[in-house]
Amino acid sequence: MYGSERPDLFVTAGNFSADPGLFLYKWTGTGPNGEPVFGERRKVTVEGGHGVGTIFQTEDGVIHGLWLDGGALRHTVYDRDRHAFVNAVAVRLSGFPNFSGSQIAAIPNGDGSLEFIVSVSDGTSWRPEGDHRSEAYRPYDAAGIWRGSFTYSTLYGVTMPKLLQEPRGLARRVATTDREALYGYGGFAVVDLGTGTARDLIGGTRFGNLIYYANQAEVGVDFAAKRFVVDAHGITMRHPIIGGAATSYPNPQTGHWADLIVGGEGALYYYRFTGKFSEHGAPVYADPVPVLEESALLYPGSLPVPHVIDWDGDGIVDIVAGNSEGRVLFFKNIGTNEEPAFANGVPVQAAGRDIHVQAGYSGSVQGPGEARWGYTSPAAFDWNGDGLPDILMGDITGDYTVYINRGTAANPRLDEARPLYLDGLNLHGTWRAKPGVARIGERVAFIALDGDDELHLYWRLDDYNVVDGGKLRLDTGQTIRANFLPAGGTGRLKINYVDWDLDGRLDLVLGTPRHGSVPDPEFGLPQALGLPGAAVLFLKNVGTNEEPVFRFPQLMAFRGKPIFLGQHAAGPAVADFGNPNGPDLIVGDQEGRIWYYSREDITLENVLFVRLGTGNAKLPVSQQFRPEIRIVPSAEHVHRVVLRLDNQVLYDGNTVPRDLEIDTRNLSDGTHTLQITVVDSLGNRVSDSLELPVDNTWQMRDDLLPPLASGWLGSVDRAKTYERSSGWEYATDHPDQFAGDDSRLVLRGSGYEFLAWKVSNLR
């Protein structure tokens, strides 16, 4: 693209990225392990949108982009001057069972025709029946077996005589079975592994296997049965992260497009083809190494959960971070505390092996489709008081583990993971939560989410055991919940137990998902603000360190704007970078970036909510009505309250009216609007309204119809009267006196008589 020695690279950033789209990276060099290094990045536009596609270059130098567009294939060519794929022309596709979750590949034939390959799902819905966001959702049965399905994909293909011509015939299955890739493919690489293999295919898959298809046809497609790519020991390779998406890259020795660059939910990795095949005909690749980028941002993987601590005992704070793929990385600070600069992350090991938590078959509350995620959420802290940092961690399973450091200050060496126990049972809560840990005198506090998805305090008993300290509470007495969604929407909170405001009492700094709802489902943050994004919250401790009590959360804001970062979770950590005014803040976002916020730029933003309710009154209302007024977090900072009924002011004062009654008998029947506006001492203004149906008027009609003769039932009284005196009769025998009406109820005499009707609830 740029006339470089090696090819440049197109990369797609998914919809959860802060900047989704298609990008072109310029090749700039080769790293220490032979991996390509890329530099300048440009965003590329695609006429009609990029979606699922494949990009390839023909011998004439033209770069083509093919994009799956419903039941059609859209062809574009790359305009180098505009950095855009343009001149879109679509051709119809026929014979494919579906295009659900499909990936595509294009294999050129020597005669100018093209084999178009599409992955096709079997159409099975993988989730069990029922709402997966319901409290009643049960992903596994009583035997621990997944209640859903295991969906597979296979390969279909069709021949296109030319790029812009309709396919020749209907699509056909080109893989040998219908069950090729469990939970589908992530993307394909057309590879040239040597003589006779120039048109083979390797597919990345959701769970990380790389599937090799040897093409036995000189023209067209005749795939042999699938084989799995293996390592130097003949072991089937698994891509380090979920959702492997492969593309080919030329081998520096042979020039063949035999090497692989594989993406997924995380970094790009480079696989070098060794030139060898196993005894079963599977290609042998070297272990993957990360692809590098010049002047890259610090990258700890997707959904990083950082913690700032001097990990290697040199007096300079470093970063230890977990991520969605289930690893823990150490980023050494090669600068200073005041001007930190971090080296690339290296895996943290325990018992001599990289920490790598995986959900496996049953470790995720959302099923085995999430087997390759780990969501490690570590807190680095001296748990046993020996002066060395240990790791305490939550993860995808909801269990809490501890890694005791048996090394030295300069050379940390972690033991294998051990469970934390409460009363002899593994400590377990809602998933993907980072614990908050702090030393208080001779004791160590451990805060986690419990099985109710609420903040819970435990106290260290010994290296592997804790005792119950009870649920944490607000100053109102209520417990502190994390989310409003049940099932897989629970957990995810990142907890820091620190003295943020430097008053000597330990506060809570929390990272939430977008659907977080701290402290309750109705008024909790951030969701009560309209789901603005994953947030960072501050809960001030107004109790003591030994018996903490917290105020309603405040939003942590950067230069006056609340910190909202994406959807899945925000990962805050308090960072002592030598600021004389107190610690700063770093926050990991879902995309894998870590943001730095200077303490001086951070403010705490109050929120205010008001709700009008009908209390115990039944609708529609009648007689006297007392509205229920709720102000959260509390009414202590209220500056003004205005209550209106149909735009008429009922109350205007600086306190919340407690005994306000509305006499609805002064209102017409029908619907009226009650509205409240509250302004606090900071100028925050909120309103709420209530549609109030009023019904005070009772009406009944009685036509006083005469009795009805009903055969064996006798005479049936049709009047609605409850009681009447005996001096009444129906004028059935002298209608001439009443204008021909033979059913009028009339008085027989001139004495005092009465008719009475019974009306329920009449006052």
Q: Provide the CA 693 distance to its chain's centre, in angstroms.
A: 39
> What is the sign, positive or negative, of the torsion defined by CA atoms of 141, 484, 473, 616?
negative
Token pair belonging to 375: 């969501």
82-118 confidence digits (pLDDT tens)? 999 999 999 999 899 999 878 999 999 888 899 999 9
606-622 confidence digits (pLDDT tens)? 999 999 998 888 888 88
Strand partners, 550: 474, 541
Domains detected in the chain: 9-124+145-293 (2.120.10), 305-605 (2.120.10), 609-694 (2.60.40.10), 708-756 (no CATH)
In the predicted structure, residue 192 carries a pLDDT above the cut 60: yes
pLDDT of residue 738: 81
pLDDT band at 762 (very low <50, low <70, confident <90, very high): low
pLDDT of residue 714: 77
pLDDT band at 338 (very low <50, low <70, confident <90, very high): very high
User: Three-state SS string across 317-345, please?
Assistant: CEEEEECCCCEEEEECECCCCCCCCECCC
Q: Where are the alpha helices (DSSP H) in 424-545?
A: none
**DSSP code string of 655-699:** S--SS--EEGGGS-SEEEEEEEEEEETT--EEEEEEEEEE-----
In the predicted structure, residue 279 carries a pLDDT above the cut 70: yes
Q: Provide the CA 692 distance to its chain's centre, in angstroms.
A: 37
pLDDT band at 637 (very low <50, low <70, confident <90, very high): confident
Strand partners, 263: 245
Token pair belonging to 342: 């971090």
Residue 138, CA distances (Å) to 148, 454, 702 in order: 10, 21, 57
215-228 confidence digits (pLDDT tens)? 999 899 999 999 99
pLDDT band at 51 (very low <50, low <70, confident <90, very high): confident
In the predicted structure, residue 489 carries a pLDDT above the cut 80: yes
pLDDT of residue 761: 58
In the predicted structure, residue 763 carries a pLDDT above the cut 60: no
**Mean pLDDT of all residues belonging to the chain:** 94
- H helix or E strand, kind and range, residue 347: strand 346-347
| pTM of structure | 0.89
pLDDT band at 742 (very low <50, low <70, confident <90, very high): confident
568-610 confidence digits (pLDDT tens)? 999 999 999 999 999 999 999 999 999 999 999 999 999 999 9
CB 138 within 8 A of CB 147: yes
pLDDT of residue 684: 84
pLDDT band at 700 (very low <50, low <70, confident <90, very high): confident
**DSSP code string of 1-45:** --S-SS--EEEEE-TTSSS-EEEEEEEEEE-TTS-EEEEEEEEEE
CB 208 within 8 A of CB 242: yes
363-417 confidence digits (pLDDT tens)? 999 999 999 999 999 999 999 999 999 999 999 999 999 999 999 999 999 999 9
Residue 206, CA distances (Å) to 181, 210, 231, 489 in order: 8, 10, 19, 22
The 10 Å CB-count burial string (b at 16+, else e) for 334-347 is eeebeebebeebee
Strand partners, 645: 648, 674
Residue 535, CA distances (Å) to 133, 397, 472, 515 in order: 21, 23, 20, 9
Q: How many secondary structure helices (H) and strands (E) does the chain include?
A: 0, 64
Q: How far apart are CA 69 and CA 84, in angstroms?
A: 18
What is the percentage of the chain residues whose pLDDT exceeds 90? Answer: 78
748-761 confidence digits (pLDDT tens)? 877 889 999 887 65
137-147 confidence digits (pLDDT tens)? 999 999 999 99
